[in-house]
Amino acid sequence: MEHTDSAMDTDPTDIKSIAISATDLVAAIEATADGSETVLRVTPPFSGRMRARLHVVQPDDDDDTIHIEPGSLLTTDVPPYPTPDDTADELRADDDATYSLERHRTYHEQRLAEWRESLPDHVVDSTTLSDTGHDVTVSLLGA
């Protein structure tokens, strides 16, 4: 029989696994790298299997929600976010080509696409929810 106690629905320790869309994870990591306070959010009612969604943190966010820092979902060997300065430096260090703004734009877009594509390969199997202190399994949904 399903419980109807609303207090149980707000107990985040009920969560055993969290599913996250690859698109939301990549967007959250990229937004964080660009300086936005972006997280993946899980909202009550809580149950064994939950879905975390992309969320920009607001001052009036509900206290019952759980914010998951996107970086906590990635392994330590994740490639760094390629900034425009990084990709410009890479191009300027290439002795076989002349730097140009157009070449930099194209190269930067290519590096971003490669970085975005690589992130799902660096997702952890589980994480500890900082708001609750307990471990949950992480599964990545397709794009």
So what's the pLDDT on residue 75? 94
Question: Does residue 1 lie within any of the structural domains?
Answer: no
Q: Do both 27 and 82 map to the same domain? A: no
Question: Does residue 47 lie within any of the structural domains?
Answer: yes
Q: Would you say 63 and 44 are in contact if contact means Cβ atoms under 8 Å apart?
A: no
Q: Do both 31 and 49 map to the same domain? A: yes
117 Cβ contact list (under 8 Å, min separation 6)? none
Half-sphere exposure in the Cβ direction for 137 (13 Å, CA): 5
Report CA torsion sign: 132, 61, 32, 30: positive
Question: Does residue 90 lie within any of the structural domains?
Answer: yes
Q: What is the pLDDT of residues 103-143, one digit of tens each?
A: 999 999 999 999 999 999 999 998 888 777 778 888 877 65
From the CB of residue 3, how many other CB atoms can be counted at a distance below 10 Å? Answer: 9
Q: Do both 23 and 69 map to the same domain? A: yes
Task: Give pTM, 2 decimals.
Answer: 0.83
- CA 141-128-47 angle, 5° bins: 60
Q: What is the pLDDT of residues 16-65, one digit of tens each?
A: 899 999 999 999 999 999 899 999 999 889 988 999 999 999 888 777 88
| Structural domain range at position 97 | 77-122
- The total of structural domains in the chain comes to 2
Q: Do both 67 and 14 map to the same domain? A: yes
